Amino acid sequence: MIAIPFDSSQVMQGIASIAPEAILVCTAITVLMADLFLAEDGKWLLCWLSLAGVLAALGEVYLLGSSRIVGFSGMITSDGFGMFFSTVVLSACALVLLMATGWSERAGTQKGEFYSLILMSTTGMLIMAKGTDLMTIFLGLETLSIPIYVLVGFQRSRMTAIEGALKYFLLGAFGAAFMLYGMALIYAATGTTKIPVLVYMSVGGGMAGSSLFLAGMGLLLVGFAFKVSLFPFHMWTPDAYEGAPTLVTAFMSAAVKAAAFAALVRVAMLLFPGVSPAIGPVLWVLAVLTMTVGNISALGQNNVKRILAYSSIAHAGYIMVGLVAGDLLGSQAALFYLLVYAFMNIGAFGVLMLISQKEDDGYDIHNLRGIGFKYPVLGALLTLFLVSLAGIPPTGGFIGKFYLFSAAVKNGYIWLAILGVLNSAASIYYYLRIVVYMYFMTPEGEVVTPHTPPFGYALALCACAAVVLVLGMIPGAVLTMAEQSVLSLLM
């Protein structure tokens, strides 16, 4: 019998490293329990309760700060990098919950399960972003995915929702299997799954000759590529986004993408340099194809949700540009862009949720006719978010794209930058199309009447708009933060 040693300082350190996650899980369970005891007209409390938990977790993230805490024998590390992505994910979650205050009622998601699933998914995201062991990354991925599969199909009486859930689930499991196979091959090649050890082994091309390791990295990349929806692993995206309740779509597009990119950036910054001559071209091709396919497919769409889904694919391609560049600046730009992207995308979905009357048909672009002048604030907000998505100054989207493409130019990927800028130019067309419908198309019949957002919802929209604008005009602080967090990763 081997006694398990108990080292209280290590346990404390471990608990400290996962304190935000612990808060989230506790909140999730509390919400589930509270749901049992609350009367139907008291359910609105659940949302605020969840929000309080998320904000507490966010506060805890900042209490922990960017100091490095290695927890649980190196399974998870709380550091500046984790802090950055925790901020992104938790703010996205908080925004979504704020919007849920005015939305759940009519969407039928005013339920303890809904909120606890969101919270558990967020927990998974934090774990994935902070994981320093392939196992942790995998478990984080699953913990974030399983609730999302369910959330996509939450309005299960709607055929599109449940169909989207099925597709996302089957492909998600399929994609996760690839990632797992990759991890197994990496493990076979190196005998470890701990990222720091892998870095030690692969640095300076130590593993570049091992086809086992290369194949493992390739399959790992496939898994990540699926989650961040890179071509040709992107096909689930439009379907799942369209089918899901819009609030969940907003959450997925911002938070899931950020978490998956967090792990991808970690792996890319730490492990890809060791195999860069092999994997560099792969990333290059993926970035270009993803941008192009995403943008081109969005051109002829009439469903606004699908447009934004394809746009989210294209944006994954832009962010990949930063990873192709592969240096500090590139990753920093990717981080910054993910933050901006979270806010502008949630904002855009938030406005659309108010305008659309119902899921599915409600998101037809024709419903936007005449909105712009009749509801100037909504119109202006949506225009702002779309302008930012299109990468036009003075919005955060522009700064992000500027950094991404200039990182590419700096590292000699001129053609990548050219293709990226061309793509960005093409993407204007479909963002603009939405604006044109809002402002320049006369409505056939009545202009739809958007829902009046309650206070929390309006607050979320204003916060998104403010962040998008502030990051466009004074991005310095956040850029520095992104830089610091990438540096803390490289330490």
Partner 1 sequence: MEPILFTLFGAIAVGGALLVVTRKNPMSAALSLIMSLFAVAALFVLRQAHFLAAIQVIVYAGAVVVLFIFVIMLINVPENRLPIEKPTVYRLLGVVAAGLLMIEGGLASRNFSAPATAVGEVGSVEAVGHALFTDYLFAFEVTSVLLLAAVVGATVLAKKKI
Partner 2 sequence: MVSALSNIHEYLWLILAFPLAGVVLNGIIALVAERPLLLPADGHGHDDHGGHGDAHGGHHETPAYRKLVAFIAPGMIFAAFVVAVLSVLQLTRMPAEARTVVQTLFPWIQAGGLSVSVALQLDPLSSVMILVVTGVGFLIHVYSVGYMSHEPAFARFFFYLNLFMFSMLTLVLGSSYLLMFVGWEGVGLCSYLLIGFWYEKDSASTAGKKAFVVNRVGDFGFLLAMFLVFWNFGTLNYTDVMAKIPSLQHSGILTTGLATAITLLMFVGATGKSAQIPLYVWLPDAMEGPTPVSALIHAATMVTAGVYMVARSNALFMLAPFTMGTVAVIGAATAIFAASMGICQKDIKRVLAYSTVSQLGYMFLACGVGAFGAGIFHLMTHAFFKALLFLGSGSVIHAMSGEQDMMKMGSLRKHTPITFWTMFIGTLAIAGIPGLAGFFSKDEILWRAFSSDHGSPFLWAVAAVAAGTTAFYMFRLIFLTFFGASRMDKEVEKHVHESPFSMTIPLMVLAALSICGGWLGIPAALGGSNYFEKWLEPIFEGGHKAAEAATEAIGHGAMAHHDPMEFILMGASVAVALFGIAIAYYLYMVRPEKPAKIAEGNPNLYRLVYNKYFVDELYEWLIIRRIVDWSIWLWQMFDVQFIDAIVNGVAKTVRSAGDETRKIQTGVVGNYAFSILLGAVFIVGYLIWR
Partner 3 sequence: MMGPSAYLILSGILFAIGAIGVVARKNALIILMSVELMLNGVNVAFVAVGSYMGDPTGGIFAFMVMTVAAAEAAVGLSILIAIYRLKETIDITELSVLKW
Residues in 18-47 at the binding interface with partner 1, rule: CB under 8 A: 18, 25, 28-29, 32
> In the bound complex, what is the minimum distance in angstroms from residue 104's beta carbon to partner 3?
20
Give the one residue of 124, 273, 456, 472 binding partner 1; rule: CB under 8 A.
124
Residues in 441-460 at the binding interface with partner 2, rule: CB under 8 A: 441-442, 446-447
64 phi and psi angles, rounded to 5 deg: -65, -35
Q: What is the C-alpha separation between 313 and 245, in angstroms, rounded? A: 19
Give the one residue of 11, 45, 173, 473 binding partner 3; rule: CB under 8 A.
173
Residue 403, binding choice from partner 1, partner 3, partner 2, none, Cβ under 5 to 8 Å by partner class: partner 2
Q: Residue 44 or residue 402: which is nearer to partner 2 going by CB?
A: 402
Residue 318, binding choice from partner 2, partner 3, partner 1, none, Cβ under 5 to 8 Å by partner class: none
Q: What is the C-alpha separation between 416 and 405, in angstroms, rounded? A: 8
Consecutive H or E run containing 386: helix 376-390
DSSP 310-325: HHHHHHHHHHHHHHHH
DSSP 181-222: HHHHHHHHHHS--BHHHHHHHHGGGTTTT-HHHHHHHHHHHH
Residue 470, binding choice from partner 2, partner 3, partner 1, none, Cβ under 5 to 8 Å by partner class: none
DSSP 274-285: GGHHHHHHHHHH
Over the window 132 to 151, marking each residue x when it contacts partner 1 by CB under 8 A and - when it does not, the resulting string is ---xx--xx-xx--xx-xx-
Residue 2, binding choice from partner 1, partner 3, partner 2, none, Cβ under 5 to 8 Å by partner class: partner 1
> In the bound complex, what is the minimum distance in angstroms from residue 153's beta carbon to partner 3?
6
Q: What is the C-alpha separation between 243 and 153, in angstroms, rounded? A: 8
Q: Residue 135 or residue 177: which is nearer to partner 2 going by CB?
A: 177
> Interface with partner 1 includes 53 (CB under 8 A)?
no
> Interface with partner 1 includes 207 (CB under 8 A)?
no
> Interface with partner 3 includes 131 (CB under 8 A)?
no
**Residue written as token pair 């966010």:** 58
Helices (H) and strands (E) in the chain, counts: 22, 2
* Nearest residue to 62 via CA among 40, 84, 77: 84
> In the bound complex, what is the minimum distance in angstroms from residue 88's beta carbon to partner 3?
25
Tokens of 133: 């062991």
Q: Residue 56 or residue 432: which is nearer to partner 2 going by CB?
A: 432
Residues in 68-107 at the binding interface with partner 2, rule: CB under 8 A: none
3-class SS of residue 234: coil
> In the bound complex, what is the minimum distance in angstroms from residue 76's beta carbon to partner 1?
6
- Expressed in percent and rounded to 5, the helix, strand and coil fractions of the chain are 80, 0, 20
> Interface with partner 3 includes 191 (CB under 8 A)?
yes
Give the one residue of 113, 142, 327, 364 binding partner 3; rule: CB under 8 A.
142
> Interface with partner 2 includes 138 (CB under 8 A)?
no
Residue 418, binding choice from partner 2, partner 1, partner 3, none, Cβ under 5 to 8 Å by partner class: partner 2
Over the window 219 to 238, marking each residue x when it contacts partner 3 by CB under 8 A and - when it does not, the resulting string is -------------------x
> Interface with partner 2 includes 487 (CB under 8 A)?
no
Residue 192, binding choice from partner 2, partner 3, partner 1, none, Cβ under 5 to 8 Å by partner class: partner 3
**Residue written as token pair 């703010």:** 91
Q: Residue 16 or residue 436: which is nearer to partner 2 going by CB?
A: 436
Q: Residue 103 or residue 169: which is nearer to partner 2 going by CB?
A: 169
DSSP letter (8 states) at residue 78:
E
Q: Residue 52 or residue 162: which is nearer to partner 1 going by CB?
A: 162
* Torsion over CA: 255, 257, 263, 266 (sign): negative
Stretch that binds partner 1, among 41-49, 214-222, 251-259, 409-417 (CB under 8 A): 214-222
What is the Cα 101 distance to its own chain's centre? Answer: 21
Q: What is the C-alpha separation between 323 and 280, in angstroms, rounded? A: 9
The CB density around residue 36, as the number of other CB atoms within 10 Å, is 7
Nearest 10 degrees: CA dihedral of 10, 16, 17, 23? 140
Q: What is the C-alpha separation between 87 and 339, in angstroms, rounded? A: 9
Over the window 458 to 477, marking each residue x when it contacts partner 2 by CB under 8 A and - when it does not, the resulting string is ---------------xxxx-
Q: Residue 217 or residue 314: which is nearer to partner 1 going by CB?
A: 217
